[in-house]
Amino acid sequence: MELIEQVREIGADQAVVGTESEHAARAALTREIVRTAPSRRRRRPTARTWTGVGMGGLIAGVSVAAIVVGTVLAPPATPGASADVFEAAAAGADGSADLELSAGQFLRLESRFTWMVRWDADMPQGARFNNADPGDAEATLVVEDENTTYVPADPEDDWVRERTPYTVIAGEGEREDEARAEWAASEPGAGLAGVTRYPRGIAVAGGDGGTFEYYLDDRDVYADMPDDVPGIVRWFSERYEGEGDRYGLGHYFVETISDVSVFNLAPGAARAGMLRAFATLEGVSLLSSDGGVATLSYQRSNSEGATATIEFSLDMERGYVLQVTSWPFGADPEHGDAWSSRTDAEISVVDSAP
């Protein structure tokens, strides 16, 4: 599920929803799915969680302001590393900005997001999927959301996005059948499925309370981002001063790298600038590098001393994120705790779109 789309839905009844609030909200939401306890080995646990996923594809009953409370993160203490990998990926992103597509071709960006939804029979009807405490769950469903964006050779043409309904790909628990039945009856995410065309890559969001436009690649957001690394770091920090967060770069890294559709759709120059800024982050370590793909780990701590980690794979030749895996605070992958969320991405050139 794309976090930015859910954030935009949360503000749909407001007359005006600014870009700043969208990104701050997305940051707050993504913080809730960041994992803990770094692993120096690539693990493939069996499930992933996104806390707060509600029915109908929305985050039912959860306010963005409430999420922010208690999740302000302290800067990580671990020294930074792997600046050469970020620079290689940044150079690849710069090169991808000059990628030549023939007339009629599309850059195809596919992402598959999988998360774990826990069903708690003691929660009120309509909110049984909103309790993320595994100790309270009578059943767990593993749900997959897939979406593909087609970027035309001429960005002034129609962009195309194809979504599929949320699919339950696995489940467990003594009341799994009841959870599956309730999930199916509510048809979560059904309204998101289908093919949508966006003239010039511009989408419209909102509802009766007002609508607003935004670019799928967030080009308007990055238009004022500086070119130099110190300037980019300051740019990130300034965007989070309203949250009382002086460590904006780390938070923006978490929100952006965790939503591969947002990062991979960003203009090549913006991706290159972000990657070079991310190279200054403390708490990054290189796990592996093979065939032009590097996998890194980012570790940081919150104000209570709990550790969170994200593993992410970078395509160094093109500057894209290919996979992101997260554990929530309190989980320990070294002890076999399941990862909370995973997104896989594929980028290719195709001759047609749906």
pLDDT tens sequence across 131-148: 667 778 899 899 999 999
Q: How many helices (H) and strands (E) does the chain have?
A: 10, 13
Q: Is pLDDT at 46 greater than 60 in this prediction?
A: no
Question: How much is the mean pLDDT over the chain?
Answer: 74
Percent of the chain whose predicted confidence (pLDDT) is above 90: 36
Q: Is pLDDT at 2 greater than 60 in this prediction?
A: no
Distance CA 269, CA 222 (A): 9
DSSP single-letter state for residue 46: S
Q: What is the mean pLDDT of residues 15-36?
A: 34
Q: How far is the CA of 13 from the CAs of 8, 18, 54, 114, 117, in angstroms?
A: 10, 13, 18, 28, 26
Q: What's the one-letter identity of residue 277?
A: A
pLDDT at 15 (0 to 100): 34
Q: Is pLDDT at 89 greater than 90 in this prediction?
A: yes
DSSP single-letter state for residue 35: B
Q: Is pLDDT at 187 greater than 50 in this prediction?
A: yes
Query: The whole model's pTM is what?
Result: 0.72
pLDDT at 273 (0 to 100): 93
pLDDT at 115 (0 to 100): 87
pLDDT category of residue 92 using cuts at 50, 70 and 90? very high
Per the CB < 8 A criterion, the answer to whether 161 and 354 are in contact is no
Q: How far is the CA of 207 from the CAs of 64, 66, 165, 217, 312, in angstroms?
A: 18, 23, 22, 22, 35
Query: What token pair was written down for 3?
Result: 């976090």
Domain assignment of residue 43, given as a range: 3-350
Per the CB < 8 A criterion, the answer to whether 54 and 131 are in contact is no
pLDDT at 283 (0 to 100): 82
Most confident of 204-213, 329-338, 339-348: 339-348
309 vs 263, higher pLDDT: 263
pLDDT at 25 (0 to 100): 41
Task: Give the closest residue to 299 by CA, choosing from 78, 87, 83.
Answer: 78
Q: How far is the CA of 319 from the CAs of 53, 85, 226, 301, 322, in angstroms?
A: 30, 10, 19, 27, 9
pLDDT digits (tens, 9 = 90+) for 205-261: 887 778 889 999 999 889 999 989 999 888 888 776 655 455 567 777 877 777 888
Q: What angle do CA 177, 178, 181 make, to 5 degrees?
A: 85
pLDDT digits (tens, 9 = 90+) for 273-317: 999 999 988 888 898 888 899 999 887 777 777 777 789 999 999
Query: Which ranges in 82-130 belong to alpha helices (H)?
Result: 83-96
DSSP string, 307-320: EEEEEEEEETTTTE
pLDDT at 6 (0 to 100): 40
| Domain total in the chain | 1
Helix H or strand E segment including 68? helix 64-68
Distance CA 153, CA 176 (A): 46
Query: What token pair was written down for 316?
Result: 């160094």
pLDDT at 137 (0 to 100): 87
Per the CB < 8 A criterion, the answer to whether 303 and 101 are in contact is no
pLDDT at 158 (0 to 100): 97
Q: How far is the CA of 52 from the CAs of 44, 281, 316, in angstroms?
A: 23, 28, 33
Distance CA 170, CA 143 (A): 7
Percent of the chain whose predicted confidence (pLDDT) is above 70: 73
pLDDT digits (tens, 9 = 90+) for 164-181: 888 899 999 999 999 999
Distance CA 346, CA 354 (A): 17
pLDDT at 240 (0 to 100): 66
DSSP string, 121-137: TTSPTT-TT----GGG-
Q: By mean pLDDT, which of 43-47, 87-91, 288-292, 341-345 is the weakest? A: 43-47
pLDDT category of residue 98 using cuts at 50, 70 and 90? low
